[in-house]
Amino acid sequence: MTADADIVRELRAAGLAGEGDVVLEPLTGGVSCDVWKVETPSGPIVVKRPLPQLRVAAEWHAPVERGQSEVRWLRRARGVDARIAPEVLAELPTGHAFAMRFLPGSPVWKDELMAGRVDAAFAAAVGQRIAAVHAATAHSDDDRDDFPNDAMFRALRVDPFLLYVAERDAELAPVLRRFADDLSVRKIALVHGDVSPKNILVSADGPVFLDAECAVYGDPAFDLAFCATHLLLKSVWSGDARLTEAAAALVAAYREGVDWEDVDGLLLRAGELTAALLLARVEGKSPAPYLTDPEHQRIVRDQARALILATEPLDTLVTHWKRNLA
């Protein structure tokens, strides 16, 4: 029996599929997992199964147990606000797969941005909801115990985005290794780990977060930095200043939700990480797939290198990024 047949059998065992034909309709876009849409008697669902080898040019392995971490994050986030994440319907034994509710009529935020539909108010809502999860889980021993995923986060985020670049850039290596060390040891709140527009749905109730495979109890500044990085990269790709305005709205809304630590210190860490992540998206293991123009790559590379050495808080970094692109 194939793995796909196993999943169909397990969907039936979970009461999510009938005895008739069950079709796993592949959904595109992910590099780290297989994703299918499945029509069931009670409506469409999504089934997700993590891959041991990610679909990128560089060799990049990751433990499939991250599927369990994602399920825990989705459930914990719904406990903070049920609008933040889709409902998990069942965990499936094959390859740490799981099924969750499909949300019709909710486009992916990345697709909206790439089509030129930029809404700063929606970006602000993203910042608000990220901050809500961080605030609810900050300094929580229970949440820390539930997400002991340091090795996984290192494999999926620290190594490919920071240390991979450090190994190839002698000038920046000491700074990038310092960022990596700090990110690895700082334990403050529950981190999603992949707050990217491709993992956020635009629903009638606001942003819905998907793909929490990298979830870890760590530094909340990473989530803010990761999302801001994508908006700044897209501003270079499109030349649309509204994307930097969306990044500013994201940061401002997030800032308002910070009540667990000194916000200036958090924004400084977020600025450092954003600069490093910008460089990683042209020099790391997972380059931004849409940033193919050599001139765009040069702009990002030059600005990111300067920002890594300058060490600016994220709100200042966003302001300078907008000015330099004008």
- Condensed to tens digits (0 to 9), the pLDDT of residues 278-321 reads 999 999 988 999 999 999 999 999 999 999 998 899 999 999 89
- If asked whether residues 222 and 249 sit together in one domain, one would say yes
Alpha-carbon separation of residue 295 from 21, 235, 291, 319 (angstroms): 50, 13, 9, 21
For residue 145, give the CATH number of its domain.
3.90.1200.10
> Domain range spanning residue 34?
3-101
Say if residue 87 is in the same domain as residue 152: no
**What is the identity of the amino acid at 240?**
D
Domains in the chain, number: 2
Strand partners, 207: 202
Q: Which residue among 75, 101, 127 closes a domain?
A: 101
Is 321:303 a contact under the CB 8 Å cutoff? yes
Sequence-ordered strand ranges (E) for the chain: 25-26, 33-40, 43-50, 88-92, 97-101, 189-191, 200-203, 206-209, 216-218
- Residue 57 pLDDT: 44
Q: Is 159 helix (H, G, I), strand (E, B) or coil?
A: helix
Amino acid (1-letter code) at residue 130: I
With a cut of 50, list the residues of the chain below it in pLDDT: 1-3, 55-61
pLDDT of residue 272: 97
Q: Assess whether 89 and 195 both reside in one domain.
A: no
